[in-house]
Amino acid sequence: MRYRTLTQFLIERERAGRISPDLRLLIETIARACKAISTRVNKGPFGGGYGLAGSENVQGEIQKKLDVLSNEILLEANEWGGNLAALVSEEMEDPRPIPTHYPRGQYLLLFDPLDGSSNIDVNISVGTIFSVLRCPTAPDGTPHEPDEKAFLQPGRNQVAAGFAVYGPTTVLVVTVGDGAWGFTLDRETYTFALTHPDIRIPADTAEFAINASNMRRWEPPVKRYIDECLAGKDGPRGKDFNMRWVASMVADVYRVLSRGGIFMYPRDAKNREGRLRLMYEANPMAFIVEQAGGMATDGSRRILDIQPTSLHQRVGVVLGSKNEVERVAAYHAA
Ligand code: AHG
Ligand code: MN
Ligand code: MN
């Protein structure tokens, strides 16, 4: 079977007028960086990538060597291409404008260079998440200075989003607003091949993902929803549920895209704003999930409609199969 490549897929969209040549090149560049990160991740202990970097990021989280390396790979790949105005990363406090000796483009890139980094040293899937916004312009067309304010746009403004998961295979899921498309890295030709066209998340599911160690801190609607799942056949839902939790959002969301399910990292008494980051975790994943027919909410608001107030803000996340996410939202509304 001959698969279409990511390059073909993007050129078709450019011809159809759905994406600009610059956006196509930007996505190609990100994909190339993901291949490089995938290779580093695959080296395991041999590439010198295991262990701690000896530093903390802006959120006060301990950085792994691979967090820092992946961040550098993405920065280096994206700085000179001429399609970006600035970048934001989980690993950097402030936006990084494109150095003045390179041409400046019209897009803003946000990323989580390595998601699930607590799983690196234990050989469990990790990944990269990215989101693309347009740099705002003044009414006369001059581009806005790509400062923090330029980035603070709701997720519905995203022009593209995606994530790579470095698992038994490396898969890249991309959306440019016409569905969610999955590409597997063919390690013989080193190309991304379209193996999962137009992904659809089933509306119903019997599988949930949540870190149950936070149970005592959950809000009542979350507690009610999970209690009902756990009650199974004998409870109000009248069916048994299964539970999965990888602790790498990329892997958990990829499973939801593959066979349905609900993924939750809700606000709780400890993580009052939630645990996941709005701009480079929740927004891109919400865009992809909606494009695949699913739903994403923080409990009360559609994630993509939240007006961000800071670059690294956190948010509660409930996403996946539509009917289940709707139920959780209804429990919050009640
Ligand atoms: P990151 O490694 O980029 O900081 O993100 C980790 C996130 C996410 O991938 C995952 O869903 C969650 O943290 C896991 O949290 P717990 O350790 O609380 O389960
Ligand atoms: Mn992450
Ligand atoms: Mn990360």
The whole-number average pLDDT for the span 113-117 is: 96
Q: Which of 57, 64, 118 to mutate to test the pocket of ligand 1 (most atoms within 8 A of CB)?
A: 118
Q: Which residue has tokens 């507690």? A: 223
pLDDT of residue 181: 98
Given pLDDT bands bounded at 50, 70 and 90, which one contains residue 40? very high
pLDDT of residue 289: 99
User: At CB < 8 A and 24+ separation, what contacts does 140-143 make?
Assistant: 143/85, 143/104, 143/106
Of ligand 1's listed atoms, the one at least distance from the Cα of 250 is 9
Q: Which residue has tokens 């949930």? A: 208
pLDDT of residue 48: 76
pLDDT of residue 309: 98
C-alpha–C-alpha distance, residues 275 and 251, integer Å: 17
pLDDT of residue 225: 98
Given pLDDT bands bounded at 50, 70 and 90, which one contains residue 221? very high
CA of 301 to the centre of ligand 2 (A): 21
Task: Give phi and psi for 282, each to the nearest 5.
Answer: -70, -45
Task: Give the single-character DSSP code of 168.
Answer: S
- Nearest CA owner, ligand 1 atom 14: 247
CA of 67 to the centre of ligand 3 (A): 6
Across the chain, mean pLDDT equals 95
Question: Are 6-196 and 207-333 the same fold in CATH?
Answer: no
More confident residue, 80 or 301: 301
Coil, helix or strand at residue 128? strand
What residue spans define the domains of the chain? Answer: 6-196, 207-333
CA of 120 to the centre of ligand 3 (A): 11
Are 196 and 182 in contact, with CB atoms under 8 Å apart?
yes
The whole-number average pLDDT for the span 233-256 is: 98
The whole-number average pLDDT for the span 61-82 is: 92
CATH of 6-196, one of 3.30.540.10, 3.40.50.2300, 2.40.10.120, 3.40.50.2000: 3.30.540.10
- Nearest ligand to residue 71 Cα: 3
C-alpha–C-alpha distance, residues 65 and 48, integer Å: 8
- Nearest CA owner, ligand 1 atom 17: 247
Burial of 173-205, coded b for 16+ CB within 10 Å and e otherwise, reads: bbbbeeebbbbbbeeeeebbbbbbeebebebeb
In the structure, which protein residues have their CB atom closer than 6 angstroms to any atom of ligand 1?
61, 90, 112, 115-118, 211, 247-249, 265
Nearest to 196 by CA among 166, 214, 232, 172: 172
pLDDT of residue 144: 85
- Nearest CA owner, ligand 1 atom 18: 211
pLDDT of residue 53: 82
Q: Which burial class, exposed, middle or buried, applies to 328 when counting CB atoms under 10 A from its CB (0-12, 13-18, 19+)?
A: buried
Coil, helix or strand at residue 85? strand
CA of 106 to the centre of ligand 1 (A): 31
Tell me the β-bridge partners of 319: 263, 296
Of ligand 1's listed atoms, the one at least distance from the Cα of 59 is 4
Fold category of 207-333 in CATH: D-Maltodextrin-Binding Protein; domain 2 (3.40.190)
**pLDDT (tens digit per residue) in 245-301:** 999 999 999 999 999 999 999 999 999 999 999 999 999 999 999 999 999 999 999
pLDDT of residue 142: 80
Of ligand 1's listed atoms, the one at least distance from the Cα of 211 is 19
More confident residue, 45 or 185: 185
50-54, 185-189, 304-308, range with the lowest pLDDT: 50-54
Task: Give phi and psi for 269, each to the nearest 5.
Answer: -65, -20
CA of 228 to the centre of ligand 3 (A): 32
Of ligand 1's listed atoms, the one at least distance from the Cα of 252 is 11
The whole-number average pLDDT for the span 121-147 is: 92
CA of 45 to the centre of ligand 3 (A): 19
Whether the predicted pLDDT of 151 surpasses 90: yes
pLDDT of residue 186: 97
Given pLDDT bands bounded at 50, 70 and 90, which one contains residue 143? confident
Given pLDDT bands bounded at 50, 70 and 90, which one contains residue 55? confident
Q: Which of 67, 70, 91, 115 to mutate to test the pocket of ligand 1 (most atoms within 8 A of CB)?
A: 115
pLDDT of residue 67: 94
Tell me what percent of the residues of the chain surpass a pLDDT of 70.
100
